[in-house]
Structure 1
Amino acid sequence: MSPTRRAFLAGAVLTALAGCADPPAAHPALRRPRRAGAVAFLRADGTAPLLELRGEPDVLVGLAAGTPAMPAFPGEVLIPERSNTDAFLQVEGDDEEGCQARLTELLGALPGAEATWRTAVRRDTVDDGLQRNPFGFVEGQTNSDAVLLPNGDSLLAVRVIRLARGSWDADSPEHQRRVIGRHPDGTWLDGSGARAVPDYAADPTGAVIPLDSHARAMNPRTPGAPAPRMLRRSWSYQGPPTPQGTPDEGVLFMAFQSDFEQGFALAQSRMPGDALRPYLLTVGGGYYTVPGV
């Protein structure tokens, strides 16, 4: 891929996410996400059949081959079937049932590949392309365009995160706002708009937007604390309860980047100081390479 082509694709990230038409033959990281999908973690004998799916409409293929395994992070309870598998496959579309059917069709045509875990996923979008998370809060759009490697591939971090909905719902709305750092409609606690940059310098002690709020912990915007360079794309999932009766619902977190250390790993290193952490339990995930088209 030529430097000119790479620059065009990288520059198209924000316009694609804002609802404009996708660039021709866009890398999956640069496509405008659909409202529904289906995903599967795979064990696979080889990569050749999976590579043949590159360029398929609304299909994403992530390969673990040649990519370092996602390290263990404190507090996780990883399920082997959902963790550091050989491959990750996603289908997007307009409804979950249709996506599940297409995923089944694709898996049936992949010799030597077995889905160790699969689920339907969905996105709850609001005006202006912003997304509402399962806790009911609209998330801001603070994504990086540094998602492509020089060869046109992208690195992908995937996380399966269960949410402690019962504990969250038991807390007061005011406490929830201070945990997130925003109001449910996405506006900041200092009154800034959902897409605005808050003035942390005017609130150095966190009296308005707490220092340990999720948004501020992940991106403090202080000297020496760079923003994680990654393009976030989160999906909600809901599966059947575990044999112990624990709800299996939460977020399938995906982050595209060109460097794990400057992207996902940097964000993860800030989780110990994040007020949202007690409501999250990571049960799966992995690092993958998403080939260019």
Structure 2
Amino acid sequence: MSPTRRAFLAGAALTALAGCAADPAPVGHPALRRPRRAGAVAFLRTGAAAPLLELRGEPDVLVGLGARLAPGTPGLTAMPPFPGEVLIPERSNTDAFLQVEGDDEEECRERLAGLLAALPDARATWQTTVRRDTVDGGLQRNPFGFVEGQTNSGSVLLPTGDALLAVRVIRLAHRSWDADTPEHHRRVIGRHPDGTWLDGAPAHADPGYAADPTGAVIPLDSHVRAMNPRTPGAPAPRMLRRSWAYQAPPTAQGTPDEGVLFMAFQDDFGKGFALAQSRMAGDALHPYLLTVGGGYYAVPTAG
């Protein structure tokens, strides 16, 4: 990174308070570091990858390059259309994706603004602050109140040391969800809110699907069972999830714009995100979700 740009970025970071300060012990790739409690993200249109690549070494910064900016990345394409989504162009298949993390949303928003100011050839088409609600053991509670993330894969890097990243902006139908009963919620997810399985197995244990072949206890169309049936010929999607809650202003029509910014690192979209997405049609959680944006990106290592 040039001395001038490094000085600018350092100054921009210092204008934010300690809530978006860097993790004191960052690691080489963003997929492998401990996620922070808050952040800010932006989808970008730009024709130049080099200025974005200069940000790779900045602590708690993630740079994602779309297929046009990283044409040599194995397996990287534009995200294909999936059934049921209603994509907003400003949030979909952009040239790049940028994220900063920290401990306070507003301070991360300010730091992101400083980084964007150092990218004069890039235009942010949509940006928002994000947050994570974590519980003991490093797991996360989603906006519907259920602990998730027990089946993350640890193998997500390409031989180059980079990773593929799927990003999805998913609105949640809170009104419909809240109108249903807690018992229905548990059967839709397939777990209790604390993460334990409906058959009584602990959160980190395998469920007893073999003893429940018809789904009498854990329904066959529950979210956890639809995504990972644990049957021969139905492998678990291989990806590392980093979900974030977001809340943006309502749409011009008054529709609430809040939900999940879903991020999944992987080394093969076909064995990771795309495999999970192919199972969504049979997922009882699907009616409560509306995907309005996202894309496929390459995330380079910080080195």
TM-score normalised by the chain length of structure 2: 0.88
CA distance in 2, matches of 1:131, 1:197: 19
Aligned residue runs from structure 1 range 279-290, under 5 A: 279-290=288-299
8 Å contact 2:26–2:33 — kept in the other structure?
no
Q: CA deviation at 1:111?
A: 2.1
Aligned twin of 1:143: 152
Aligned twin of 1:32: 34
Does residue 263 (structure 1) correspond to residue 265 (structure 2)? The answer is no
TM-score normalised by the chain length of structure 1: 0.91
Aligned twin of 1:115: 124
Does residue 234 (structure 1) correspond to residue 243 (structure 2)? The answer is yes
Q: CA deviation at 1:23?
A: 7.2
Identify if the C-alpha distance between structure 1 residues 23 and 102 changes in structure 2 by more than 3 Å, giving closer, same or farther. closer
Secondary structure at the aligned position of 1:261 is classed as helix
Aligned twin of 2:82: 73
Aligned twin of 2:285: 276
Aligned length: 273
**Structure 2 stretches of 5 or more lacking a match?**
1-22
Identify if the C-alpha distance between structure 1 residues 137 and 217 changes in structure 2 by more than 3 Å, giving closer, same or farther. same
CA distance in 1, matches of 2:206, 2:54: 42
Equivalent of 1:152 in 161, 166, 180:
161
Secondary structure at the aligned position of 2:31 is classed as helix
Aligned twin of 1:185: 194
Q: CA deviation at 1:34?
A: 0.2
Q: CA deviation at 1:140?
A: 3.9
CA distance in 2, matches of 1:26, 1:236: 25
Deviation string 1:28-76 (CA, Å, 9 cap, x unpaired) is 0001000000000000120000000012100000000223100000111
Q: CA deviation at 1:22?
A: 8.9
Q: CA deviation at 1:25?
A: 3.3
8 Å contact 2:27–2:33 — kept in the other structure?
no
Q: CA deviation at 1:139?
A: 1.0
Aligned twin of 1:57: 59
**Structure 1 stretches of 5 or more lacking a match?**
1-20
Deviation string 1:223-272 (CA, Å, 9 cap, x unpaired) is 00000010011000001100000000000000000000000000000000
Deviation string 1:94-115 (CA, Å, 9 cap, x unpaired) is 1001100000000000120010
Name the amino acid aligned to 1:49. Answer: P
8 Å contact 2:79–2:93 — kept in the other structure?
yes
Q: CA deviation at 1:279?
A: 0.2
CA distance in 2, matches of 1:36, 1:237: 10
Identity, in percent, stands at 81
Aligned twin of 1:196: 205
Secondary structure at the aligned position of 2:45 is classed as strand
Which range moves more in the overlay, 137-146 or 76-85? 137-146
Secondary structure at the aligned position of 2:64 is classed as strand
Identify if the C-alpha distance between structure 1 residues 140 and 52 changes in structure 2 by more than 3 Å, giving closer, same or farther. closer
Aligned twin of 2:102: 93
Secondary structure at the aligned position of 1:215 is classed as helix
Q: CA deviation at 1:127?
A: 1.1
CA distance in 1, matches of 2:186, 2:149: 14
Q: CA deviation at 1:186?
A: 0.9
8 Å contact 1:22–1:31 — kept in the other structure?
no
Name the amino acid aligned to 1:50. Answer: L
Does residue 253 (structure 1) correspond to residue 255 (structure 2)? The answer is no
Aligned twin of 2:219: 210
Aligned twin of 1:162: 171
